[in-house]
């Protein structure tokens, strides 16, 4: 694609192809429709949440014929799920602009590549080591100390594919817990809180960030997000600078979430990146001038980025598993906005929806 083509906006009335059919694709399609765009979802699973609100192609990621037909019906392609095979993204990139593209996806899919990229970009992380067998794990523990966290290099999320190694623990048991997969060992850092920053970048390099928010987890899954994060202004500025550095270093187009640890001394350590809208950005739907989903549309289509001003003090609470059965009381709660994802089956640990509470003026 020529540079002048990349800079040309994709106007309302166009079709956005979305790779992945979960709740992020569902919310993206809803906000895209408000701006006059249609969405087309590529997702192997029938009846996915996004299929309720947009056209849906149900085919395998390695079905080149289906991918070609999908590309023929869209104007730009984006991600709502980072475990899309890179091969599918690279194939689509030869047919239509994919924003973000395969290189960003490769980095986000592999914790070792991710941490190496962050460090090369001048972004500090927790101490870490790549390990491919138990002997390397033992050597890494000698260097990094205990406690430490062993995480599979690929396909781990919401606390899955992880094992904590404490003093006295047998490393072989942790290695068995990750099923002997290539992994990353992270040295323990006594952080004060976890924050994230959502950043957006257009094809012409314009960047806009949302302010840092605090993320509170329960059983390894995000439970609540609080905006603003309870941190000093200089720490917030460092967090935003970190997100800007990451998204600029990748020459990224689209929306990127950067999760970080805030240390007691005010340092900010990058933890993970996500090349898509993010659970910790759901507060923006009701609590911000421009939601993260609208911002995604603006970024990938080359439109002016939206204002990120917060509308008050915001709390976003995930509804995990059977917590979704609280929907009657949540609908009756003043100043609460309920978002249900339309998932047919309720399972423990599954994100079924979220509720947002906004205190204007706070």
Share of the chain above pLDDT 70, in %: 97
Query: Which CATH superfamily is 127-187 part of?
Result: ATP-grasp fold, A domain (3.30.1490.20)
Name the pairing type of β-strands 148-152 and 55-57: unpaired
> Would you state the pLDDT for residue 161?
78
pLDDT band at 126 (very low <50, low <70, confident <90, very high): very high
Q: Per-residue pLDDT tens for 171-189?
A: 999 999 999 999 999 999 9
Domain 193-360 - what CATH class?
A: alpha beta
Query: Architecture of domain 3-109 in CATH?
Result: 3-Layer(aba) Sandwich (3.40)
Confidence (pLDDT) at 155: 74
Q: What is the pLDDT of residues 241-293, one digit of tens each?
A: 999 999 999 889 999 999 999 999 999 999 999 999 999 999 999 999 999 99
Specify the pLDDT at position 2: 44
- At CB < 8 A and 24+ separation, what contacts does 141-148 make? 141/165, 141/171, 141/185, 144/185, 144/186, 144/187, 145/187, 145/188, 146/188, 147/188, 148/185, 148/186, 148/187, 148/188
Which residue ranges make up each domain of the chain? 3-109, 127-187, 193-360
Taking the C-alpha atoms of residue 254 and residue 228, their distance in angstroms, rounded to an integer, is 23
Tell me the pLDDT of the chain averaged across its residues. Answer: 95
| Token digits of residue 181 | 């997969």
pTM, to two decimals: 0.95
């Amino acid at each position: 694609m020529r540079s002048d083509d990349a800079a040309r906006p994709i106007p309302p009335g166009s079709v956005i192809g979305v790779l992945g059919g979960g709740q992020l694709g569902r919310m993206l399609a809803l906000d895209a429709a408000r701006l006059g765009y249609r969405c087309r979802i590529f997702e192997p699973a029938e009846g996915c949440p996004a299929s309720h609100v947009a056209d849906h192609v149900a085919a395998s990621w390695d079905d080149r014929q289906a991918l070609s037909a999908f590309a023929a019906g869209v104007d730009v392609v984006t991600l709502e799920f980072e475990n899309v095979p890179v091969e599918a993204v690279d194939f689509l990139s030869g047919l239509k602009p994919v924003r973000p593209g395969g290189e960003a996806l490769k980095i986000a899919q592999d914790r070792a590549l991710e941490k190496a990229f962050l460090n090369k970009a001048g972004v500090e992380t927790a101490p870490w080591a790549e390990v491919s067998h138990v002997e390397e794990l033992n050597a890494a523990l000698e260097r990094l100390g205990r406690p430490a966290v062993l995480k599979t290099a690929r396909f781990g999320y919401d606390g899955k594919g992880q094992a904590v190694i404490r003093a006295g623990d047998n490393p072989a048991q942790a290695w068995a817990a990750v099923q002997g997969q290539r992994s990353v060992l992270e040295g323990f850092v006594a952080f004060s809180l976890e924050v994230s920053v959502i950043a957006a970048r257009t094809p012409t390099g314009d960047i806009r960030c949302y302010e840092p928010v605090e993320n509170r987890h329960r059983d390894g899954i995000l439970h609540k997000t609080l905006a603003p994060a309870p941190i000093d202004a200089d720490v917030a500025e460092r967090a935003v600078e970190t997100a800007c550095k990451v998204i600029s270093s990748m020459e990224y187009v689209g929306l990127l979430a950067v999760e970080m640890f805030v240390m007691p001394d005010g340092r900010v350590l990058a933890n993970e990146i996500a090349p898509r809208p993010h659970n910790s950005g759901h507060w923006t739907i009701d609590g911000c001038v421009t939601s993260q989903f609208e911002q995604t549309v603006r970024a990938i289509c080359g439109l002016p980025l939206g204002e990120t001003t917060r509308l008050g003090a915001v709390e976003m609470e995930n509804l995990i598993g059977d917590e979704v059965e609280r929907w009657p009381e949540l609908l009756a709660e003043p100043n609460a906005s309920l978002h249900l994802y339309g998932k047919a089956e309720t399972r423990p640990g599954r994100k079924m929806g979220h509720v947002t509470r906004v205190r204007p003026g706070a």
